[in-house]
Structure 1
Amino acid sequence: MIIGLDMIGAQGFKSLVPPVTNATYLEVENCVADVLQLQTNIDNDDTKDKWGYGTVLLATFNGDLEAGNIQMRENPISELRVKRRNLKDQNFIVVKELPFNPEPTQIVYDDYTVSSGEEYEYVIAPVDASGIEGFMTATYINPKFDGWWIVDPDQPELYNFQFLYNLDDVNITVDEDRTEINTFSKFPKVYYGQKYARRGSLSSLFIPEGYNAKEQYERLIAMINAKKPYILKDGYGRNFRVDISAPQETVQARMAGVTKVAVNWVEVGEVND
Structure 2
Amino acid sequence: MIIDYNFFGLEQGCVWDTPVCTDLLDELQMNEGVYDEAFIELDTSIEPHTNKPTKWTLTTIMDAKFTSDLDAGSISAEGFDITKLMLYRSVYGTGDWDAIGEFKYDEEFNLYDFVDRYVQNGSTYQYAIVPVANEVIGDKLISDSIDVSYEGIFLTDKKENKRLEYDISLGEISYNTSSNTSQPLNSPYPIVTFGNSNYRSSSLTVLPLSKETVSLSGSSIDKLAEQINRQDWMEFLNNSRAKVLRMDSGVLMLVVTKNARVTHKEGETLRDLASISFDYVEIGKINYDMLIKNDLISRAFLTHMTYDDEGDIISVDN
Query: Pairwise mapping of residues 161-176 of structure 1 onto structure 2 (< 5 A)?
Result: 161-176=162-177
Normalised by the size of structure 1, how large is the TM-score? 0.57
Deviation at 1:243, TM superposition (A): 1.4
Work out whether 1:266 is the aligned partner of 2:243: no
Please say if residues 67 and 134 of structure 1, whose CA atoms lie closer than 8 Å, have aligned partners that are also in contact.
no
Unaligned runs of 5+ in 1: 1-55, 72-78
1:65 is displaced (CA, Å) by 5.1
Query: Could you say which structure has the greater relative contact order, defined with CA pairs below 8 angstroms and 6 or more residues apart?
Result: 2
1:86 pairs with 2:91: yes
Q: Deviations over 1:20-42 (max 9, x none)?
A: xxxxxxxxxxxxxxxxxxxxxxx
Deviations 1:153-198 (A, max 9, x none): xx2xx31222232111331113322112234533221111122222
Counterpart CA distance in 1 for 2:262 and 2:193 is 40
- State whether residues 202 and 263 of structure 1, in contact with CA within 8 Å, keep that contact through their aligned partners in structure 2: yes
Residues 181 and 188 of structure 1 are in contact (CA less than 8 Å); yes or no, is this contact kept in structure 2?
A: yes
Q: What amino acid is the match of 1:165?
A: Y
Match of 2:145 among 140, 147, 151: 140
1:138 deviates by 2.6
Aligned residues: CA RMSD: 4.3
Say which structure is richer in strand. Answer: 2
Report the equivalent of 2:38.
Answer: 61
Are the structure 2 counterparts of residues 129 and 210 from structure 1 closer, same or farther at C-alpha, using a change threshold of 3 Å?
A: farther
Q: Is 1:181 aligned with 2:182?
A: yes
Q: More helix by proportion, 1 or 2?
A: 2
2:257 touches 2:280 (CA, 8 Å); kept in 1? yes
Aligned in 2, Cα 1:65/1:214: closer, same or farther, shift over 3 Å? farther
Gaps of 5+ in 2: 1-32, 41-60, 73-83, 214-224, 289-318
Which residue of structure 2 lines up, in the alignment, with residue 112 of structure 1? 117
Residue 234 of structure 1 corresponds to which residue in structure 2? Answer: 247
Count how many residue pairs are aligned between Structure 1 and Structure 2: 207
1:248: which partner in 2?
261
Q: Deviation per CA, 1:88-127, whole angstroms, max 9, x where unpaired?
A: 343253548698767xx9x9864321111111124579x8
Q: Hey, what's the Cα distance between the residues in 1 that align with 2:165 and 2:202?
A: 16
Where 2:230 maps in the other structure, the secondary structure is helix
Deviation readout 1:56-93 (Å, 9 max, x if unpaired): 9732323445736999xxxxxxx998653321343253
What TM-score does the superposition give when structure 2 sets the normalisation length? 0.50
1:2-29 CA-to-partner distances (Å, cap 9, x unmatched) read xxxxxxxxxxxxxxxxxxxxxxxxxxxx
Q: Letter of the aligned partner of 1:219 in structure 2?
A: D
- Matching residue's letter, 1:251: H
Contact kept? 1:208, 1:257, Cα under 8 Å: no
